């Protein structure tokens, strides 16, 4: 296009634009807008006129957007809106040369619209499309200005109170310019601007920087202090009205308000606190701010409350205000919300702070726990694990009692229900603490890697137990009013099975000791602590519902394992103490539960006889004592059917000795002497067995169970375990293998013989072990006259002595048969066999040892009346003849055994 035609077209556009604008009809607004945009680009002299028309279009577009529901759905009505959509992109893309003109024009237009529509809510005005387009144009062009021009534009907007929302919107692009200028305004104006700026999260950094700079300038020591004395009350007043200012003030407050800064701040406050601007800065306003602040403000307050009276008073006022606010459950307190979010830091302060900090944080925790039951559970668990002194345990008691009784009237009908609900929370807290303590013991610790483990280092589970023990002591003392309902004791009783599992695991000899963890430490202190916890709780059901059967049985198994673990302790005093603790536990567990007694007796006997036999001097019956690793019975089976073996007792000895295995090639017997039963461990085990029995009836019942268990554990089958004694020939021809096996099993096992001796003291119970006595007597009858070797003779005499002493103790041999024990050392082998056959075997065969022979007196003791159980002469003549034959040596026994008997006859 040549210059002449271009000029002609421009002139026509200008005429059309002037004509169209003069008609003030927005029906053709899109056409005029296109012409105006063309004129801006091609005829800059028309800039003011075009921009003025564009302002008219925006005003009309705003009216249309606000009142769109009042207009008819006519396309002409949206002409101004269509024009606005065309103006926005064009004015944003004009470039840097136009920015100094476009930015002020936009700002003035926004100010005019905001002033004209001041009666409308800001949210309504901001959501209209024309206003949003204007804000976008302003933002885009501000970024193209230099800093000086940009600052002037921001100041223009700040000068209009009606467009504070626009400052906040535009200030998102330049928060570093807007924030300090907004703070220079009054509190209300600044709040309005910053409230809109707060919707842009990155602006918080610049707001904080401006506030910190203003604050630092206010407390600086210079000659202009009088001019800046109102800054601090202004900031506090602004923070009370603006959330973003409060957040900026409290963010990283511990780094901002250092000790030096606090000294200067206190000096400024002391100097100007009587001025008019400081009248609004009082405890009420400060507490109101603190209620809306972060928990770190509370930490800072606690830090300085120790040495500052006003701060200490402010802290107390704050805590009272918090407790009052919690009366309204629907009311949200930001300080408590922040404390709940950083609960781990709060609880850590509870352990490490001074007395004032600890008691203040305890009050905060009560409020948090009351609102959030989950935090109540975790707080209990945390303190039970990491408390290391009585003070923190006392705080735990205070938190528990304060949370349960908070805002609950004493005459409330719901107090019992509420208490039970919180009791369940306490139970869960104890459960979590126990589980997490055991998990913590398995985690690698830095102190083990660095090699700086202290000598008194304890496992986490040990510390947990010590804390529980201390709390249980306080409960049992009845001196702590908050613990009179036994919250801790009931919680431990509810977790009885888990405590038993922990004791069972830590008392195991086969437990894996992982390096660099707590479980690499000695486990016995932890076991002792667990046992003491179990010893201090009520398992009888007298103070609380009784524990479940499963829990009782688990604790019984754990206690038995702990008992045998204590037997391996080298230190005598620690060993005895641990055993006594285990026995007390067994007594408590078995006194009200026959099932627990049965399990305890079985576990004690089985473990002592088969799993821990070496601790009692017993000889294990393993392949090590049998060179070929085969039982004699199995070797005999290779020579023919079992029915053939019973026809001749000589075939029994084809491969060796029943009960001892295959004979050694050199002819020497293996196994050594019979293990002694009078050992410390044996006595401790017998004491544990007796602990499972309570009272005379309990002892008889328990001894009966032990007697039956011994037969069950020793006997290879269930045949011939009854009370009757058969003919001697029957044992030789049918059951001699079985008798030899049972005698060998009992002889090898010191625990079995000691238990049999203990059973004999509860006299009816020994009758049920007739199978064991019969086995010993049958083998003695068969073997006494077959051995000439002194070692074997001594073994047989020892077995005979034990048999006679046991039966005498159990009153199975009446007078004078009970004196066979005194005669035995002086008799020959043949005489012994004759006495055993005629006096012992034949008597017990004809007079079956039965509990019915014993009577129970008024004291509960069972005994056999000598006047009703005199043996006939048939069973005593052999003894009489032997004594008469050897009157020179045995004459002193004759009057003892037979004189009174002859007189009575």
Q: For position 788, what pLDDT does the model report?
A: 53
- Mean pLDDT, residues 331-344: 91
The residue ranking higher by pLDDT, 460 or 734, is 460
Quickly state the pLDDT bin for 201 (edges 50, 70, 90).
low
Nearest to 608 by CA among 512, 677, 555, 553: 677
pTM exceeds 0.85, yes or no: no
**Distance between terminal CA atoms of the chain?**
162
Judge whether residue 407 has pLDDT over 90. no
Cα–Cα–Cα angle for 843, 844, 850, rounded to 5 degrees: 135
Q: For position 667, what pLDDT does the model report?
A: 39
Q: For position 414, what pLDDT does the model report?
A: 52
**Following DSSP, what letter does each residue of 27-89 receive, concatenated?**
GGHHHHHHHHHHHHHH-GGGHHHHHHHHHHHHHHHHHHHHTGGGS-S-GGGGHHHHHHHHHHH
Classify residue 444 by its DSSP letter. Answer: B
Highest mean pLDDT among 66-70, 674-678, 874-878: 874-878
Q: Are 812 and 767 in contact (CB under 8 A)?
A: yes
Quickly state the pLDDT bin for 734 (edges 50, 70, 90).
confident
Judge whether residue 77 has pLDDT over 80. no
Least confident of 213-222, 653-662, 838-847: 653-662
Residues of the chain above pLDDT 70, percent: 81
Q: What is the dihedral of CA 841, 846, 847, 848, to 10 degrees?
A: 80
- C-alpha distances out from residue 560 to 556, 657, 681, 696, 705, Å: 6, 35, 14, 23, 17
The residue ranking higher by pLDDT, 519 or 166, is 519
Q: For position 511, what pLDDT does the model report?
A: 82
Q: Are 399 and 379 in contact (CB under 8 A)?
A: yes
Judge whether residue 903 has pLDDT over 70. no
Rounded to whole angstroms, the Cα distance separating 750 from 682 reads 8
Judge whether residue 737 has pLDDT over 60. yes
Q: For position 153, what pLDDT does the model report?
A: 81
- Mean pLDDT, residues 557-582: 94
Instruction: Tokens for 775, please give them.
Output: 């086995």
Least confident of 122-131, 451-460, 643-652, 844-853: 643-652
The residue ranking higher by pLDDT, 445 or 543, is 445
Residues of the chain above pLDDT 90, percent: 31
Q: What's phi and psi for 175, nearest 5 deg? A: -65, -30
Q: Are 615 and 568 in contact (CB under 8 A)?
A: yes
- Mean pLDDT, residues 246-274: 75
Q: For position 37, what pLDDT does the model report?
A: 79
Cα–Cα–Cα angle for 428, 440, 559, rounded to 5 degrees: 70
Q: What's phi and psi for 335, nearest 5 deg? A: -65, -45
Judge whether residue 886 has pLDDT over 50. yes
Quickly state the pLDDT bin for 652 (edges 50, 70, 90).
very low
C-alpha 31, offset from chain centre: 77
Mean pLDDT of the chain: 81
Convert the pLDDT of each residue in 601-631 to its tens digit: 999 999 999 988 888 887 765 433 344 445 5
Rounded to whole angstroms, the Cα distance separating 241 from 874 reads 115
Judge whether residue 457 has pLDDT over 70. yes
Q: Are 780 and 806 in contact (CB under 8 A)?
A: no
Convert the pLDDT of each residue in 84-112 to its tens digit: 888 888 888 888 888 888 888 888 888 88
Give 863's strand partners: 855
Q: For position 189, what pLDDT does the model report?
A: 66
**Following DSSP, what letter does each residue of 233-297 receive, concatenated?**
HHHHHHHHH-HHHHHHHHTTHHHHS-HHHHHHHHHHHHHHTTSGGGTT-SHHHHHHHHHTS-HHH
Judge whether residue 672 has pLDDT over 60. no
Coil vs helix vs strand at 172:
coil
Rounded to whole angstroms, the Cα distance separating 72 from 449 reads 82
Q: For position 173, what pLDDT does the model report?
A: 65
Judge whether residue 122 has pLDDT over 50. yes
Instruction: For helices 334-341 and 355-371, give the axis angle rounded to 10 degrees.
Output: 100
Convert the pLDDT of each residue in 131-166 to its tens digit: 888 888 888 888 888 878 877 887 777 777 677 677
Quickly state the pLDDT bin for 666 (edges 50, 70, 90).
very low
Q: For position 871, what pLDDT does the model report?
A: 87
- Mean pLDDT, residues 700-717: 91
Three-state secondary structure along 733-769? HHHHHHHHHHHHHHHHCHHHHHHHHHHHHCHHHHHHH
Q: Dihedral of CA 554/557/561/564: which sign?
A: positive
Residues across the chain: 905
Convert the pLDDT of each residue in 347-397 to its tens digit: 999 999 899 999 999 999 999 999 899 999 999 999 999 999 999 999 999
Quickly state the pLDDT bin for 273 (edges 50, 70, 90).
low
Strand (E) or helix (H) holding 855: strand 855-856
Q: Are 38 and 23 in contact (CB under 8 A)?
A: no
Judge whether residue 69 has pLDDT over 50. yes
**Following DSSP, what letter does each residue of 488-525 receive, concatenated?**
HHHHHHHTHHHHHHHHHHHT-TT----TTBGGGS-SHH
Q: For position 132, what pLDDT does the model report?
A: 86
Judge whether residue 276 has pLDDT over 60. no
Neighbours of 724 (CB within 10 A): 12
Rounded to whole angstroms, the Cα distance separating 578 from 40 reads 100
C-alpha 627, offset from chain centre: 52
Least confident of 230-244, 467-481, 583-597, 660-674: 660-674
**Following DSSP, what letter does each residue of 309-357 receive, concatenated?**
HHHHHHHHHHHHHHHHHTTSTT---HHHHHHHHTHHHHHHHHHHS-HHH
Quickly state the pLDDT bin for 242 (edges 50, 70, 90).
confident
The residue ranking higher by pLDDT, 568 or 329, is 568
Quickly state the pLDDT bin for 45 (edges 50, 70, 90).
confident
The residue ranking higher by pLDDT, 37 or 561, is 561
Rounded to whole angstroms, the Cα distance separating 180 from 211 reads 8
Q: For position 676, what pLDDT does the model report?
A: 83
Rounded to whole angstroms, the Cα distance separating 855 from 865 reads 8
């Amino acid at each position: 296009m040549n210059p002449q035609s271009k000029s002609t077209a421009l002139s026509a556009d200008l005429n059309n634009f002037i004509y169209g604008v003069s008609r003030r009809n927005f029906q053709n607004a899109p056409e005029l807008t296109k012409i105006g945009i063309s004129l801006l680009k091609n005829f800059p002299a028309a800039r003011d006129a075009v921009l003025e028309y564009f302002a008219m279009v925006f005003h009309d577009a705003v009216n249309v957007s606000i009142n769109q529901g009042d207009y008819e759905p006519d396309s002409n009505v949206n002409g101004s809106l269509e024009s606005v959509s065309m103006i926005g992109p064009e004015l944003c893309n004009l470039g840097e040369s136009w920015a100094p003109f476009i930015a002020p024009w936009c700002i003035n237009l926004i100010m005019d619209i905001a002033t004209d529509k001041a009666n409308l809510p800001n949210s309504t005005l901001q959501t209209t499309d024309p206003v949003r387009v204007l804000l976008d144009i302003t933002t885009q062009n501000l970024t193209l200005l230099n800093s000086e021009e940009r600052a002037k534009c921001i100041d223009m907007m700040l000068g209009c109170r009606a467009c504070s929302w626009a400052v906040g919107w535009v200030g998102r692009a330049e928060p570093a310019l807007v924030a300090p200028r907004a703070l220079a305004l009054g509190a209300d104006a600044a709040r309005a601007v910053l409230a809109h700026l707060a919707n842009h999260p990155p602006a918080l950094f610049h707001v904080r920087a401006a506030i910190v700079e203003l604050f630092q300038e206010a407390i600086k020591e210079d000659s202009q202090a009088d001019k800046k004395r109102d800054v601090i009350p202004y900031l506090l007043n602004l923070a009370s009205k603006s959330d973003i200012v409060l957040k900026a003030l409290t963010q990283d407050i511990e780094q901002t308000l250092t000790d030096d800064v606090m000294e200067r701040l206190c000096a400024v406050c002391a100097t100007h606190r009587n001025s008019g601007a400081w009248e609004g800065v009082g405890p009420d306003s400060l507490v109101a701010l603190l209620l809306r602040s972060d928990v770190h403000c509370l930490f800072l307050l606690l830090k300085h409350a120790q040495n500052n009276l006003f701060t200490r008073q402010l802290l107390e006022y704050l805590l009272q205000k918090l407790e009052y606010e919690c009366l309204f459950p629907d009311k949200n307190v930001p300080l408590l919300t922040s404390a709940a979010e950083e609960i781990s830091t709060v609880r850590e302060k509870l352990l490490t702070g001074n007395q004032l900090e600890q008691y203040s944080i305890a009050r905060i925790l009560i409020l948090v726990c009351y609102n959030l039951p989950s935090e109540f559970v975790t707080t209990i668990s945390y303190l039970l694990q990491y408390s290391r002194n009585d003070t923190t345990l006392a705080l735990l008691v205070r938190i528990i009692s304060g949370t349960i009784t908070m805002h609950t009237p004493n005459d409330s009908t719901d107090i019992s229900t509420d208490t039970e609900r919180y009791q369940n929370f306490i139970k869960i807290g104890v459960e979590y603490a126990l589980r997490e303590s055991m998990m913590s013991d398995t985690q690698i610790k830095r102190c083990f890697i660095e090699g700086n483990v202290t000598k008194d280092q304890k496992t986490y589970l040990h510390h947990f137990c010590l804390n529980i023990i201390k709390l249980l002591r306080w409960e049992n003392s009845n001196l702590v009013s908050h613990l009179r309902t036994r919250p801790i004791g009931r919680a431990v009783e509810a977790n009885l099975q888990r405590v038993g599992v922990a004791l069972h695991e830590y008392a195991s000899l086969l437990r894996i000791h992982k390096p660099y963890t707590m479980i690499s430490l000695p486990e016995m202190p932890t076991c002792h602590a667990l046992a003491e916890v179990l010893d201090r709780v009520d398992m009888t059901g007298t103070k609380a519902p009784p524990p479940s059967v499963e829990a009782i049985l688990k604790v019984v198994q754990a206690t038995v394992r702990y008992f045998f673990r204590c037997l391996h302790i080298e230190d005598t005093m620690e060993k005895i103490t641990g055993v006594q603790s285990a026995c007390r536990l067994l007594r408590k567990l078995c006194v009200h539960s026959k099932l627990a007694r049965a399990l305890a007796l079985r576990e004690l006997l089985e473990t002592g006889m088969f799993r821990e036999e070496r601790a009692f001097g017993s000889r294990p019956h393993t392949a090590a004592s049998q060179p070929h690793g085969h039982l004699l019975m199995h070797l005999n089976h290779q020579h023919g059917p079992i029915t053939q073996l019973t026809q001749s007792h000589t075939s029994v000895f084809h491969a060796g000795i029943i009960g001892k295995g295959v004979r050694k090639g050199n002819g020497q017997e293996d196994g050594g002497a019979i293990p002694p039963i009078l050992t410390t461990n044996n006595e401790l085990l017998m004491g544990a067995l007796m602990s499972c029995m309570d009272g005379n009836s309990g002892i008889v019942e328990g001894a009966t169970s032990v007697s039956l268990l011994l037969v069950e554990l020793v006997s290879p089958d269930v045949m011939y375990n009854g009370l009757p004694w058969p003919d001697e020939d029957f044992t030789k021809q049918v059951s001699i293998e079985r008798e030899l096996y049972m005698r060998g099993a009992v002889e090898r096992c010191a625990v079995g013989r000691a238990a049999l001796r203990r059973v004999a003291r509860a006299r009816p119970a020994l009758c049920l072990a007739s199978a064991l006595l019969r086995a010993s007597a049958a083998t003695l009858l068969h073997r006494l006259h077959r051995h000439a070797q002194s070692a074997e003779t001594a073994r047989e005499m020892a077995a005979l002595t034990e048999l006679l002493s046991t039966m005498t103790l159990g009153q199975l041999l009446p007078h004078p048969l009970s004196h066979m024990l005194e005669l035995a050392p002086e008799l020959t082998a043949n005489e012994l066999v004759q006495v055993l056959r005629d006096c012992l075997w034949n008597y017990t065969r004809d007079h079956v040892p039965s509990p019915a022979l014993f009577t129970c007196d008024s004291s509960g003791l069972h005994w056999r009346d000598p006047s009703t159980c005199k043996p006939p002469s048939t069973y005593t003549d052999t003894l009489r003849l032997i004594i008469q034959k050897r009157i020179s040596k045995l004459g002193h026994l004759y009057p003892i055994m037979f004189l009174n008997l002859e007189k009575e006859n």
